[in-house]
Structure 1
Amino acid sequence: MNRLASPAQLRASLIRWSLFIVPAVMLLGFLSGQVGGSADSPWFQALEKPAIFPPPATFGIVWSILYFMMGLALALVCAAWGSSVRVWAILVFLVQFALNLAWSPIFFGMHDIRLALVILILLDAALLVTVLLFFKVRAWAGVLLLPYLAWVLFATVLNWQFLELNPHAEYIRDSGAVQRMEL
């Protein structure tokens, strides 16, 4: 026998990793959003929105799909026992995931658009390294992260536009009073 594991054993390993990792990634993403606050907050409603700001319902749908894909990509890497860069890929994934989870509490909870932008720039860099390492471990794992990379890059531009339009957003009171005027 010249193999360490049969194809059936490899599939079973991937399934076990997926059954644990995918729900964990999705749950942590959901909890980060809940802890951080939401787009329904009076503070966020008072902000001037960029022209490229999508409908609010888009975010829940997109992030649910992306967290599922992230979890599946990580499971593929975790199940790739023979790869020499597997451990590094997992560690860099955890770093970028921590940055991802930190963004919502910083932006919505702390109302710190500047720090949130710094977090996103760091996330962009860490995610790019993650994608490259995932491609080295398993090509499909890297492919699964490409939509996430595109969305995070879009989020970085969006965050930057929020900062440009609302340079003093941290001083907006969270009183619930929002004045809107249409011409």
Structure 2
Amino acid sequence: MASSTRREWMGLGGWLLVAFAAAAIGGRASVNAAAFYARLVRPAWAPPGWLFGPVWTVLYLMMAIAAWLVWRERGRAGARTALSLWVVQLAANALWSWLFFAWRLGALALGEVVLLWVLVALTLVAFWRIRPLAGMLLLPYLLWVGFATALTFSVWRLNPGLLG
């Protein structure tokens, strides 16, 4: 295998590792999420708890591939702003689980998920400018975070005792 091909595959592995490390950090806060989610009063349009794991797995995979495409196109130095936005939105993504599930701070979780949506939108635009396919890969994520924002608001309002 040529060294440039090996470098590209190792790069993909690195972006996957970073994305799924963030998922694991958020996941630590969600250890008891299923039981807590089941106790919450939810709107009729709320998805079942089992759906979140598969959806997030696909989204993290798409996030990693998008970052990899941008990195391949411009390198770390050439895409510094776009890739920095990607890392910041990834950290914000992991933080939401802690705010909502571990610390049960509904209002802060809502504010944070709104911030996350903005960060994802900025990352999508930055990625699109470098490699349109990378931006497109973030579109389902942006839509899901928009849905998560509405769900966070609704669940917070329906559960003032549990999500102070």
**What is the match of residue 99 of structure 2?**
106
**What is the match of residue 3 of structure 1?**
none
Greater fraction helix: 2
Contact 2:42 2:155 in 1 (8 A): yes
Tell me which amino acid in the other structure corresponds to 2:24: F
Rg bigger for which structure? 1
Deviates more, 1:80-89 or 1:99-108: 80-89
Paired with 1:96 and 1:86, the residues of 2 have a C-alpha distance of 15
Alpha-carbon shift at residue 126 of structure 1 (Å): 0.8
Aligned partner (choices 150, 165, 168) of residue 158 of structure 2: 165
Alignment pair present for 1:15 and 2:9:
yes
Distance 1:17 1:82, change over 3 A: closer
Residue-by-residue CA offset, 1:128-178 (whole Å, 9 max, x unaligned): 11000000111111011011111100000000110121123246xxxxxxx
Aligned partner (choices 70, 87, 96) of residue 94 of structure 1: 87
Paired with 1:69 and 1:11, the residues of 2 have a C-alpha distance of 20
Flag structure 1 segments of 5+ consecutive residues without an equivalent.
1-7, 172-183
Flag structure 2 segments of 5+ consecutive residues without an equivalent.
none
Distance 1:124 1:85, change over 3 A: farther
Report the TM-score, using the length of structure 2 for normalisation: 0.89
Contact 1:37 1:104 in 2 (8 A): no
Alpha-carbon shift at residue 51 of structure 1 (Å): 1.2
Contact 2:22 2:91 in 1 (8 A): no
Paired with 1:140 and 1:65, the residues of 2 have a C-alpha distance of 16
Aligned partner (choices 21, 25, 32) of residue 31 of structure 1: 25
Deviates more, 1:30-39 or 1:149-158: 30-39
Deviates more, 1:53-62 or 1:21-30: 21-30
Contact 1:85 1:136 in 2 (8 A): no
Paired with 1:111 and 1:35, the residues of 2 have a C-alpha distance of 10
Instruction: Find the residue that maps to 1:79 and give its secondary structure.
Output: helix
Percent of counterpart pairs with the same letter? 33
Alpha-carbon shift at residue 12 of structure 1 (Å): 4.9
Paired with 1:34 and 1:57, the residues of 2 have a C-alpha distance of 17
Instruction: Find the residue that maps to 1:80 and give its secondary structure.
Output: helix
